[in-house]
Structures are given as structure tokens and as C-alpha cells.
Amino acid sequence: MTEVLSQDEIDQLLTAISTGDTEPEEAQQVTERKNIRIWDFRRPDKFSKEQIRTVSFMHETFARLTTTSLSAQLRSLVNVHVASVDQLTYEEFIRSIPSPTALAVINMDPLKGSAILEIDPAVTFSIIDRLFGGTGEGSKINRELSEIERSVMESIIVRILGNMREAWSQVIDLRPRLGQIETNPQFAQIVPPTEMVVLVTLETKVEDVEGMMNFCIPYLTIEPIISKLSAQYYYSSIRRGTTTENLNILRERLAGINVAMVAEVGGIQLTMRDILSIKKGDVIRLSNTSLNDPMVLKIGNRPKFDCRPGAVGNKIAVQVTRKIEDVDQTDFEELAVEGDEE
């Protein structure tokens, strides 16, 4: 890095060298202690490298979720990934996007202010064509969206915002809402032109059509949580994980899962020759089981309860009598090994 000395410092060094008070080596050390940092007052950097990196991590999750949801909705191969995360002025962002385009103004509740989600026209019309029953092939369309097309894109953007909420959940309980869709970037002045923004650029591919999806967040909007945009906070919040809200969500999701439950009377091991020779009227004696022994109620493949058979109305039923103590999985493996040795 080139060091710059003031005129007074230069005069002092020349005087000291000429009088013999100092050596040239000492003068070199003085210049090495000098540290000049370049600062552009017209475009000050407000996001640190660590904060930019954390924003990138968050939106990599957003890209994965969006890839899955759009692929399912369009029934087509969709790929979304983070291309870059940069900070620039809002004016530079507006000048970099085409016109007309699909430009959604997003309310970032509970944060104050708005953000911008811009989708490249090639991707927009490819999505619309797929939803209207077409092949989704890209075409050089350069026009504003019709009312029907605007309504279709609203539903797509609302689904994308659901992915954004989940991606931001480790930092804040974000509730993004679609405000309006503009086609002319000049009509979307959410902050002054000189205000700094963080721009997340996502490369988006729908079948063979490629384009960009840009998410622009002003510094004024993200400022209240800027201290949380650190790798330490982000990963510690992931490790915490077991909040009451997360547990309730897990319970709701588990409540709808079907699990097989089997009441087992008893069991026996037979050779394939014996099984093939079984015929009507044969009696198979179950090992280690008597008429007074309880039946075993299995959930999945795990024995969980003792029970006894009965009936409720016209239905066959079992009554749970005792909970079987949980057995560690390694015990099952040891028993299986011993059985093989025998």
C-alpha cells in the first residue's frame, strides 16, 4: 500500500537526516507506522464483510427452499443459487435493472421500511408460460405485465416470501408481505437514491431459461438487526433451536404422521422348507408363549406395551396393561448377533 506523508512530515525527516539526528532506516520505520485508509464520503460502506457473509448464508437457505417450492409448483426443473452479495447505492441498483420488469415492493414487518424483489423478465414470462400450460421456453418479450399475468406473479411472489421468512428465522421472526408490483423501476423509490443497500443476486434457471432474481434491502430497513448479522449469532441461534415455538411446530408436523401399530401374539422361526410344507389344518406352536402370557404391542418395529386381547362392540381390540421399558438399540444388535451365532 502506498504511504502518503504530509509536507511538514517530509520537511522534518529531511532536516533530521541532514543534521545527522536520524538515519534513513529510522525514517523508513516512521513511514511504515503510517496507515492510510481510503474513505469515499459519497459511498460509505455500512456493511462489514462478516455481515455480508451472514446475509449470503441466509439467502443460500432461501435459494434452496425456493428451488424446491418452484420446482413443485411449476412441475419443472428449477435451480436458484446465490451469485453475489454486494453493497451499493439505491440509485446504482435502479439503473442496473431492465425496464419494464417485475418489481415487487415488500413490506418487511416487523422491520420498518420496505425491500425490493426484482425478477428478470425472461424468468417471469417463462414461469407464466409454464403455469398457463406451455413449455416454459424463453422468448424475447419486452412489455409490461397484463392484469392476469400480474395476478399470477403475485401468487408466485407470496410463495417465495414464505421461503424468505423461514430463511430469516434464525435472526428475526420476519413477516414479509407483498405490497405492490411495479414494472417501471423509477416508480419504486423506497429510499433516497444515495442510500446504501445490500443487494442479493440469485441466478435463476427454469428449464433452459436463465435470468437473475435480485433482492434489495436498504440499510435503513435492516439497521435494527445489524448486530445480529454475525456468524457467531447466526450459528448460535441454529444450535439453540429448541424454543417453545419450534417444539410446537415439530409436534404439529409429527401429529399427522401415520405409524403402524401391531399386536403380536407370539413368534417362531421356521425354515423355508417347513413354510412351503404348511397346509390347511396344521397347528403351529409359538415359542415361549402360553395362553396366559400378555401380547406385545409394537409401534413401528419397537415393542412398547404389554396388552391383552378383547373386543369393543363388534371390533377386535387390545387393552394396554404395562409399558415396556425402552431398550437401547445396541441391545437389539447384540441379541441379533447372538442369535446368528447360535
Q: What is the tens place of the pLDDT at every residue in 265-277? A: 877 888 898 888 8
> Is 15 a residue whose pLDDT tops 80?
no
The helix (H) or strand (E) run that includes residue 315 is: strand 315-323
Nearest to 101 by CA among 136, 155, 141, 128: 141
Q: What is the pLDDT of residue 335?
A: 42
CA atoms within 13 A on the CB side of 316: 5
Q: What is the pLDDT of residue 336?
A: 44
> Is 33 a residue whose pLDDT tops 70?
no
Q: What is the pLDDT of residue 331?
A: 47
Report the C-alpha gap between 316 and 336 in whole angstroms: 32
Question: pLDDT band at residue 285, thresholds of 50, 70 and 90?
Answer: confident
Average pLDDT over residues 37-64: 78
Counting every residue written for the chain, the total comes to: 342
Task: Check the CA dihedral 147-153-155-157 and report its sign.
Answer: negative
Q: What is the pLDDT of residue 177?
A: 92
Average pLDDT over residues 169-183: 88
CATH architecture of the domain with range 261-276+286-336: Roll (2.30)
Higher-pLDDT residue of 56, 3 = 56
Question: pLDDT band at residue 24, thresholds of 50, 70 and 90?
Answer: low
Report the C-alpha gap between 220 and 95 in whole angstroms: 20
pLDDT digit string (tens) for 156-166? 999 999 999 98
For the ranges 160-169, 173-182, 232-241, 307-316, which has the lowest average pLDDT?
A: 232-241
> Is 1 a residue whose pLDDT tops 50?
no
Task: CATH number for 49-241: choose from 3.30.70.240, 3.10.180.10, 3.40.50.1100, 3.40.1550.10.
Answer: 3.40.1550.10
Q: What is the pLDDT of residue 217?
A: 92
Give 185-253 as a DSSP string. GGG---S-TT-EEEEEEEEEEETTEEEEEEEEEEHHHHGGGGGG-SHHHHHHHHHH---HHHHHHHHHH
pLDDT digit string (tens) for 60-118? 999 999 999 998 888 888 999 999 999 989 999 998 888 888 899 999 999 988 999 99
Average pLDDT over residues 154-175: 90
What residues does each domain of the chain span? 1-38, 49-241, 261-276+286-336
Take residue 37 and report the three cell numbers written for it: 485508509
In this prediction the pTM is 0.57
